[in-house]
Amino acid sequence: MKLIQTPNASKPAGHYSQGVVYQGTLYISGQLPVNPNGAHNLEAPFSEQANIALNNLFAILEAAGGSASDLIKVTVYVAGVQHWPEFDRIYSEMVGEHRPARAVVPVPELHHGYLVEVEAVARIPEPAQYPDLES
């Protein structure tokens, strides 16, 4: 296994890695809309929160040598199903033509009171020799 750690995404606040590569697959931990510098903005509108969470996810994906076209499965947790259409718009702009499998799960609340959290599974091109990976 290779652990992913990049300063371009929010640092884990608990006992987990930003991402883990195993046998050509990257597992990206849930990304809240916390800025890479650790700043929280619970008052940010949903669109800003979605952008920050997705930017964190893409930073981890890129640190592992992947891109949006390598996404296999994305799971999105939203505090309130009313946010689904706006998330879909932002997500489709960021992912482009690629259409990985996806689930959007409405939940009553998320950690710190945020409105969105995103996790993903992606393929990683071989051979997996990337300078940003830790053993």
Q: Domains plus CATH for the chain?
A: 2-134 (3.30.1330.40)
Q: Whole-angstrom Cα distance, residue 67 to residue 58?
A: 7
What pLDDT, on a 0 to 100 scale, did the predictor assign at position 127? 56
Q: Which has more pLDDT, 76 or 131?
A: 76
Q: How confident is the model over 10-48, as pLDDT tens digits?
A: 999 899 999 999 999 999 999 999 999 999 999 999 999
- Classify burial at 37, counting beta carbons within 10 Å of its beta carbon; exposed 0-12, middle 13-18, buried 19 or more: exposed
Q: How confident is the model over 17-26, as pLDDT tens digits?
A: 999 999 999 9
Do 124 and 60 meet the contact criterion of CB atoms below 8 Å apart?
A: no
Nearest partner of 31 among 83, 85, 74, 94, judged by Cα: 74
Provide the percentage of residues in the chain whose pLDDT is more than 70. Answer: 93
24 in the Ramachandran plot: left (φ > 0), alpha (ψ -120 to 50) or beta? left
